[in-house]
C-alpha cells in the first residue's frame, strides 16, 4: 500500500478486481507471458462483457430497422434504441429524451452545432471564443465556419501550469461573443476546467456555451442542468460503449429553432417532390438508418457505469492519477504536463528527455503497456508548450496501481536503452 492508496472511508469505493473481470480484453496477453496493461482510455475505453453481450444479443435476437416497422422485431429494436436515449438523458442529469440527439461521435456533434446552429445564428464579425487547449474537433469546425462567414475566433489562453486563464476570459467576454466552446476536461493536460463558472460568466455576457464532454462524461458525474450548458457533446466509445455512436445534448428551444443537419429518411414528417416537413425532436437531426446496435450497446454501457457509480469511478481515477504522478516524478528525465493533482483527472502526458515519445511508447509496449504518443489531436496546445509530441498514459475504472508500476518499469527500461 502506498500513501495514496489510503482512502477517506467516506469516498465511494470501487471493487477493482470485480470491474477488471468484466473486461475480457484485460485477460489477454499482448504476447506470450506479457499481460496487457491498457493505459489508452482517453483514446478509447475498453468494453465490459455486459456491453458486448447486449450487442450480441441484439444481433442474434432483435435486429431490425427502427421507427418504420410494425413487426415485433422492429418494435423491440426501436424500444431498445429509444430506451438507450432515455438512459443517456437520465445519465447527464435528467434532461428530456428529445434533447438527446444521437450522432456518430463527439466530432460530429460539434460539427452539427457549427453547421446548423452556427450557420443560422452567426454572421460576419461575430465573436466565438474557444480555448488554446482544444481538441481539433472543437477547433476545425469553427475554423471552417469562420472561413465561410467571417467569424472572429478568440482563444482563452492556457497558463504554464496548464489551466485556463480566467482573467483573460473575462476580458474576452467584453467582445460580446455569441458562443463559448470549450473542453470540460483536457485529453492532454488532464485539466478539469471550471465549467460552471465559465458557463455562468458566458451567460451573463449573453453568449451560449458548448461543452466538449468527451473526457468528462465518461469519468465523473456531469449534470448538464446544473452546469446549465446549452450544448454538450460526447462519445459512447470513451465510456465503455461501442464506437459509431455520439451524443449531442442541446436545450430543447435551441434544437427546435435549428435547421436539420443532414437530409433523408427518418428526419422528415412528410415529403413532397419539392419540399419536406422536418420530423419532431430529436429525429429531425437523425437522417437515415442510425447506429442501432451501437445505441443498444451505449444503453448497456450506461447501465454498467451506473452500477459501478460515477462518484466511485472518479474517486478511483483520482487515486490512480495521484499515484501515477508520484511515481512518474521518480523517473529522471520525465516531465509531466498539466496542472497540480487538484485540477486534474486521470491523464498524464509526459516527455522523456532525449527520447522521442514514439520510442517511449514502443519500448513500454514490449512490457505490455499501451500508451499513446503524438500530438493527441491538440497540435496548437503542443506548439504552445513548444513540444512536437508527448507520450500519454490515461486511466479508467479498470486500472490499478500495479498498471502504473508496470509503466514505470517500462520507463526505466527506456532509460536503460537510451542512457
Please identify every residue annotated as catalytic. 377
The pairing of strands 208-212 and 231-235 is parallel
- Which of 41, 45, 80, 105 binds ligand PMP (CB under 6 A)? It is 105
Sign of CA dihedral 200, 205, 209, 213: negative
Kindly write out the interface string for residues 20-59 of this chain, putting x where it contacts ligand PMP by CB under 6 A and - elsewhere.
----------------------x-----------------
Please report how close the Cβ of residue 194 comes to ligand PMP at its closest, in angstroms.
16
Give the helix/strand (H/E) hosting 42. Answer: none
User: Quick check: 78 binds ligand PMP (CB under 6 A)?
Assistant: no
- Which of 88, 114, 122, 214 binds ligand PMP (CB under 6 A)? It is 214
Only segment of 102-110, 157-165, 335-343, 389-397 that touches ligand PMP (CB under 6 A): 102-110
Cβ distance to ligand PMP smaller for residue 78 or 235:
235
C-alpha distances in Å from residue 41, one per residue of 75, 312, 366, 371, 399: 35, 17, 19, 9, 10
User: Quick check: 103 binds ligand PMP (CB under 6 A)?
Assistant: no
- Enumerate residues 121-160 that contact ligand PMP by CB under 6 A: 135, 137
Please report how close the Cβ of residue 107 comes to ligand PMP at its closest, in angstroms.
3
User: Quick check: 215 binds ligand PMP (CB under 6 A)?
Assistant: yes
Cα(300)–Cα(84) distance, integer angstroms: 8
Q: Phi then psi for 187, rounded to 5 degrees?
A: -80, -5
Cβ distance to ligand PMP smaller for residue 215 or 406:
215
Cα(192)–Cα(339) distance, integer angstroms: 9
Beta bridge partners of 152: 127
Query: Which one-letter DSSP state was computed for residue 341?
Result: G
Cα(388)–Cα(378) distance, integer angstroms: 10
Cβ distance to ligand PMP smaller for residue 192 or 331:
192
Please report how close the Cβ of residue 357 comes to ligand PMP at its closest, in angstroms.
16
Only segment of 32-40, 49-57, 207-215, 335-343 that touches ligand PMP (CB under 6 A): 207-215
Cα(360)–Cα(229) distance, integer angstroms: 39
What is the distance between the terminal CA atoms of the chain, rounded to a whole angstrom? 31
Query: Which one-letter DSSP state was computed for residue 184?
Result: S
Cβ distance to ligand PMP smaller for residue 22 or 134:
134
- Which of 41, 78, 106, 191 binds ligand PMP (CB under 6 A)? It is 106
Please report how close the Cβ of residue 36 comes to ligand PMP at its closest, in angstroms.
20
- Enumerate residues 354-413 that contact ligand PMP by CB under 6 A: 377
DSSP string, 308-350: H-HHHHHHHHHHHHHHHHHHHHHSTTEEE-S--GGGB-SEEEE
Query: Which one-letter DSSP state was computed for residue 355?
Result: B
Cβ distance to ligand PMP smaller for residue 93 or 374:
374
Cα(359)–Cα(286) distance, integer angstroms: 43
Query: Which one-letter DSSP state was computed for residue 368?
Result: T
Classify residue 183 as left (phi > 0), alpha (psi -120 to 50) or beta: beta
> Whose CA is closest to 304, among 62, 9, 14?
14
Give the binding-site size for ligand PMP (rule: CB under 6 A). Answer: 13
Query: Which one-letter DSSP state was computed for residue 285?
Result: G
Kindly write out the interface string for residues 232-271 of this chain, putting x where it contacts ligand PMP by CB under 6 A and - elsewhere.
---x------------------------------------
Please report how close the Cβ of residue 185 comes to ligand PMP at its closest, in angstroms.
7
- Which of 99, 126, 154, 212 binds ligand PMP (CB under 6 A)? It is 212
- Which of 158, 172, 183, 381 binds ligand PMP (CB under 6 A)? It is 183
Q: Which three cell numbers stand for residue 293?
A: 446496435
Please report how close the Cβ of residue 273 comes to ligand PMP at its closest, in angstroms.
36
Cβ distance to ligand PMP smaller for residue 78 or 187:
187
Cβ distance to ligand PMP smaller for residue 66 or 112:
112
- SS3 percent helix, strand, coil of the chain, rounded to 5, is 45, 20, 35
Q: Phi then psi for 137, rounded to 5 degrees?
A: -70, -15
Only segment of 26-34, 208-216, 280-288, 302-310 that touches ligand PMP (CB under 6 A): 208-216
Only segment of 7-15, 209-217, 249-257, 399-407 that touches ligand PMP (CB under 6 A): 209-217
Q: Which three cell numbers stand for residue 290?
A: 442510425
Cβ distance to ligand PMP smaller for residue 98 or 375:
375
Cα(325)–Cα(329) distance, integer angstroms: 6
Q: Which three cell numbers stand for residue 115?
A: 453547421
**Where on the chain is the footprint of ligand PMP (CB under 6 A)?**
42, 105-107, 135, 137, 183, 187, 212, 214-215, 235, 377
Amino acid at each position: 500500500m502506498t500513501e495514496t492508496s489510503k482512502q477517506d472511508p467516506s469516498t465511494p469505493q470501487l471493487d477493482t478486481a470485480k470491474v477488471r473481470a468484466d473486461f475480457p480484453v484485460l485477460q489477454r496477453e499482448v504476447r506470450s507471458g506479457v499481460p496487457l496493461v491498457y493505459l489508452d482510455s482517453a483514446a478509447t475505453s475498453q468494453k465490459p462483457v455486459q456491453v458486448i453481450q447486449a450487442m450480441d444479443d441484439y444481433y442474434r435476437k432483435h435486429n431490425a430497422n427502427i421507427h418504420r416497422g410494425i413487426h415485433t422485431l422492429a418494435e423491440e429494436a426501436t424500444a431498445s434504441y429509444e430506451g438507450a436515449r432515455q438512459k443517456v438523458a437520465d445519465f447527464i442529469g435528467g434532461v428530456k429524451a428529445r434533447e438527446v440527439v444521437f450522432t456518430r461521435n463527439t466530432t460530429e456533434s460539434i460539427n452539427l452545432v457549427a453547421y446548423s446552429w452556427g450557420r443560422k445564428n452567426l454572421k460576419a464579425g461575430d465573436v466565438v471564443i474557444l480555448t488554446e487547449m482544444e481538441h481539433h474537433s472543437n477547433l476545425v469546425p469553427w475554423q471552417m465556419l469562420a472561413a465561410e462567414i467571417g467569424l472572429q475566433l478568440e482563444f482563452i489562453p492556457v497558463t504554464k501550469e496548464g489551466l485556463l486563464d480566467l482573467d483573460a476570459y473575462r476580458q474576452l467576454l467584453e467582445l460580446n461573443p455569441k458562443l463559448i466552446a470549450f473542453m470540460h476536461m483536457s485529453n492532454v493536460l488532464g485539466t478539469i476546467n471550471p465549467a460552471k463558472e465559465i458557463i455562468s460568466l458566458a451567460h451573463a455576457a449573453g453568449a451560449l456555451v458548448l461543452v466538449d464532454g468527451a473526457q468528462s462524461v465518461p469519468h465523473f458525474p456531469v449534470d448538464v442542468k446544473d452546469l446549465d450548458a446549452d450544448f454538450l457533446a460526447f462519445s459512447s466509445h470513451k465510456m465503455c460503449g461501442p464506437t459509431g455512436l455520439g451524443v449531442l445534448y442541446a436545450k430543447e428551444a435551441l434544437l427546435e429553432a435549428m435547421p436539420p443537419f443532414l437530409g433523408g429518411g427518418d428526419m422528415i414528417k412528410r415529403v413532397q417532390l419539392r419540399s419536406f416537413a422536418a420530423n419532431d425532436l430529436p429525429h429531425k437531426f437523425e437522417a437515415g438508418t442510425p447506429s442501432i446496435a451501437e445505441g443498444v450497446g451505449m444503453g448497456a454501457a450506461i447501465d454498467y457505469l451506473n452500477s459501478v457509480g460515477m462518484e466511485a469511478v472518479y474517486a478511483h481515477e483520482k487515486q490512480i492519477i495521484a499515484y501515477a504522478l508520484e511515481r512518474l516524478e521518480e523517473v529522471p528525465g520525465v516531465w509531466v504536463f498539466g496542472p497540480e493533482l487538484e485540477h486534474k483527472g486521470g491523464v498524464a502526458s509526459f516527455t522523456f528527455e532525449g527520447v522521442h515519445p514514439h520510442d517511449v511508447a514502443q519500448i513500454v509496449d514490449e512490457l505490455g503497456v499501451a500508451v499513446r504518443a503524438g500530438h493527441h489531436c491538440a497540435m496548437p496546445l503542443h506548439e504552445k508548450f513548444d513540444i512536437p509530441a508527448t507520450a500519454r498514459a490515461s486511466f479508467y475504472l479498470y486500472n490499478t496501481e500495479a498498471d502504473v508500476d508496470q509503466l514505470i518499469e517500462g520507463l526505466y527500461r527506456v532509460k536503460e536503452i537510451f542512457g
